[in-house]
Structure 1
């Protein structure tokens, strides 16, 4: 099936005969359920966190080099990447050498979120529209991340688009930043990146 909609770039970059990443042929229709989020650690050419929020039938995605911080004073740089299919929220494994994003992936955190973005009159702004306008506020209910957060676009034209991911100052705010990605464990499987890479290598050798 040819790539359509907002997943066209996702499909263009991947050979699904080689990678086990989900194909996600088309964006999913909104079912009215609580939207999901996922934060994956990706040990690619550069170690980073991938922060993804469900909107308009896909996972809107940002690469966050240092990962999300629970300290409101830490403003974390985030670079938008291509939309991913909703099935990607549970993807873990190793993307093979030679493929886009080659390296190990674990789900560091996952859960649901609530849109907190409002206009000047206090009315909720649809999440997809708010993203287009360059600012969203939301409440995360995850295994590790909780409370209010905000994503704000700080650069759009002239150079590569850039956003900031910031924790709101609420009861879930904490100092100390983000744990070391090398020591972090998956919220789904409990495995580390090293264990994920070793398991994938063993499986591939059978």
Structure 2
């Protein structure tokens, strides 16, 4: 628990919860299934529009900002910029962060569900998610409503930046170069709304 509080320090220090509707981080998530860690992908219409790819690891959501969003084409490598850990209940957050606040803009829950850790060492032994994160090579199987199958996150340090990773679809039955789900399936899996509808209904 102390480690979780430490990991959430940067998240809390960047936000004024008297002004932002974002969760402070005191609860769990409605997406969480017993025995299974969760993933969530949120579409964030901020100053730079992007998708936030989040994996539950040891009690917090380890997070990456993916400017072009996830792909279902294994040939496409998407930049994923590591950002601060978020609390588990952020997986249920959908709404509008007010202008002038950190991350100002509309947030939509684009996909969510349980995931499985696929990563093994050279001897075939399972690696924990924390070990995979520290080694810079993550492989997970997503069971979402829009995305299913394997995805890899690779710590590339592109451009000499420590926070830069790559998000790549693994070549399995969930791969489909023709699909463009971030464009053709824009609605929230939580509320069925679009970004514009959320902004119209919840803009402070």
Global fold match (TM > 0.5): yes
3-state SS in 2 of match to 1:114: strand
Q: Provide the residue aligned with 1:197 in structure 2.
A: 199
Q: Provide the residue aligned with 1:132 in structure 2.
A: 134
User: Of residues 123, 145, 155 in structure 2, which corresponds to 1:153?
Assistant: 155
Backbone CA RMSD of aligned residues: 2.3
Which blocks of at least 5 consecutive residues in structure 1 are unaligned?
A: none
Q: Provide the residue aligned with 1:16 in structure 2.
A: 17
TM-score computed with the length of structure 1 as normaliser: 0.90
For 1:70 and 1:15, how far apart are their aligned partners in 2? 36
For 2:9 and 2:171, how far apart are their aligned partners in 1? 37
Which blocks of at least 5 consecutive residues in structure 2 are unaligned?
A: none
Find runs of 4+ consecutive structure 1 residues off by over 3 angstroms: 25-28, 176-183
Aligned pair count reads 198
Q: Provide the residue aligned with 1:174 in structure 2.
A: 176
3-state SS in 2 of match to 1:154: coil
Query: 8 Å contact 2:146–2:181 — kept in the other structure?
Result: no
Pick closer, same or farther for the CA change 1:181–1:9 going to 2, 3 Å: farther
Query: 8 Å contact 1:7–1:25 — kept in the other structure?
Result: no
TM-score computed with the length of structure 2 as normaliser: 0.90
Query: 8 Å contact 1:136–1:151 — kept in the other structure?
Result: yes
Determine whether 1:142 maps to 2:137.
Answer: no
Pick closer, same or farther for the CA change 1:90–1:160 going to 2, 3 Å: same
Q: Provide the residue aligned with 1:186 in structure 2.
A: 188
